[in-house]
Amino acid sequence: MVECDVEYIYPYGRGFIVYTDKPWLQGKIYLTRKDIIIVGEKEYKIPLISIISVDKRITLPTIKEGRSTLLIEFLDIISREKIYALFSGYGSCIRHFKKALLTLLTSTISISYKIGDEWSKGFLRVDNSELIFTPTNYTLNVENILKLERRTISTGFSNVGVIYIKEKKEDEIKEIYVITPPLKRDFFWQLFNLMVEEYMYSQIISKLSKTERLVLLLINQGASVGEILRKHQLSPDEFKKITDKLQEMGLINKIILLKITDKGKKVVENVTE
């Protein structure tokens, strides 16, 4: 089970109407093999089988610094109405939750795929950084992906949308085409991109020192500057050097605030993801 502490708006919208003026509520979300469970002022369940889209591009309200959003669109089984649920949480937890959700959503969807010259029908499994195509059990590690894009191919009768992957393993290059049900293709596309981003992020993190990694972890967890300085016994100058480096690497954004004190202006660093 995957869980996150969140703020949420439920329902965030119905059909084509969104409720941008609704207040955020405190709660938790849990992911099981069958449902997303929202626990807050009330408890709600969103069956995975009813989910239509994840992170659809619609109007979203302003969120707190250092947090990410997750938008779920699903079909109410009783009313047959499309409903949105919106969550906001710390970036690392929301990304982990989203990857686990997309992994579950794609695992039961039948696909056709071409690896080299061979077409097969089956399913896709995810194991850490590996994509496993069944029943051939062909394994693709995301570190070997050279290119990932959406394409259209001709079947002789019509054009079909596919996800195209170019893989380079040692000196061998393979082309992989993945055909999914049209309405489910975005689940696969988001999952593949999320895994590639996760791999690239891990490569960047590996270049950081232990202290730099711990500082980044605390920033992602929403810790204040004062908390980080006390926990790692860092001077303000040492902290600034670390956050300057993290910003240059694209891992954080820094917002610099000026605080008026009795002795004049004082620079306060507010670090956010």
Domain range list for the chain: 2-104, 109-205, 210-272
Range with the lowest mean pLDDT among 78-87, 216-225, 229-238? Answer: 216-225
CATH class, range 2-104: mainly beta
Within 8 A by CB and 6+ apart from 265, the residues are: 258, 259
Mean pLDDT of 214-220: 82
| pTM reported for the whole predicted model | 0.83
pLDDT at 261: 42
Q: pLDDT by residue (tens digit) across 137-192?
A: 999 999 999 999 999 988 777 889 999 999 998 889 999 999 999 999 999 999 99
> Over 70: is that where the pLDDT of 242 sits?
yes
What pLDDT shows up at residue 229? Answer: 85
Q: Which CATH architecture has domain 109-205?
A: Roll (2.30)
CA distance 224 to 228: 6
pLDDT tops 50 at residue 257: no
- Per residue in 62-116, pLDDT (tens digit) is 776 668 899 999 999 888 999 999 999 988 899 999 999 999 999 999 999 999 8
Q: Where residue 214 falls among pLDDT bands split at 50, 70, 90? A: confident
Cα(257)–Cα(29) distance, integer angstroms: 33
pLDDT of residue 267: 44
User: Which tokens go with 262?
Assistant: 């009795």
Beta strands 130-134 and 35-39, pairing class: unpaired
In DSSP notation, 109-136 reads S-EEEEETTEEEEEEEEEETTEEEEETT
DSSP 50: G
- The mean predicted confidence, pLDDT, of the chain is 87
Instruction: Tell me what pLDDT residue 65 has.
Output: 60
Contact (Cβ atoms closer than 8 angstroms) between residue 171 and residue 157: no
Q: Which residues, other chains included, contact 14 with Cβ-Cβ below 8 Å and sequence gap of 6+? A: 81, 82, 83, 84
What integer is the mean pLDDT of 127-133? 94
Q: Do domains 2-104 and 109-205 have the same CATH topology?
A: yes
